[in-house]
Amino acid sequence: MLWRKFNGDPIQLHIKDAVEEAITRETEAGYHLKVCIGTDSQVKGKETEFATVIVFLREGHGGFMFIHNEKTTQKHSIKERMLVEVAKSIEIAYELCDLFTLYDVDMEVHADINTNPQFKSNEALREAMGYILGMGFAFKAKPEAFASSSCANKVVN
């Protein structure tokens, strides 16, 4: 799985090692961190591209993110696509959660799902919320889900 920084630089380390390095560097610099993980997708013709982000927030001092993009030609309904986004976020959150516990870093999983029933993505809200909360993770949906709806949205090609 290839990850990169926002400036495009590839992350050479395994993602877990890169995240641990970032946490130790930032906490040693005196920052209190919070991590938000989210995924967004975009359908273009026959392809669907997913972008998953790990957003590191330095309390009161901005932040930075790690990005992973992947494409598929598999067709999904809107509800399925929302749940695939959530599954991708949970997969990376689960891989990293012991680090967040070890370093006492708060973590949230953000779903690009609208809480307004008038939007089609809302169909997936109950399942996504149950999935994320069932895994023991904090959950945010739109409009609070900035990791998926803003950060990942900007880097999905």
Structure-block tokens of residue 104: 């006492």
What are the distances in angstroms from CA 10 to CA 3, 69, 130? Answer: 6, 12, 34
- Is 120's pLDDT higher than 90? no
* pLDDT tens-digit map of 17-40: 999 999 999 999 999 999 999 999
Domains held by the chain: number: 1
Q: Is 145 helix (H, G, I), strand (E, B) or coil?
A: coil
Domain that holds residue 151: 4-155
**pLDDT tens for each residue of 125-140:** 999 999 999 999 999 9
pLDDT for 119 equals 86
* Rounded CA separation 75/101 (Å): 36
**Segment 139-152, tens digit of pLDDT:** 999 999 999 999 99
Which two structure tokens, joined as six digits, stand for 157?
A: 């090609």
Read off the tokens for 30: 């005196």
pLDDT of residue 101: 96
- Both tokens assigned to 131: 């999935």
CB 48 within 8 A of CB 74: yes
Tens digits of residue pLDDT in 38-86: 999 999 999 999 999 999 999 999 999 999 999 999 999 999 999 999 9
Residue with tokens 């995240």: 19
Contacts of 118 (CB under 8 A, 6+ apart): none
Residue 60, token pair as written in the block: 């009161």
Using the structure block, give the residue that is written with the tokens 């953000």. Answer: 110
Q: Which amino acid is at 92?
A: I
Could you tell me if 151 and 41 are in contact, meaning their C-beta atoms sit under 8 angstroms apart?
Answer: no
Q: pTM, whole model, 2 decimals?
A: 0.94
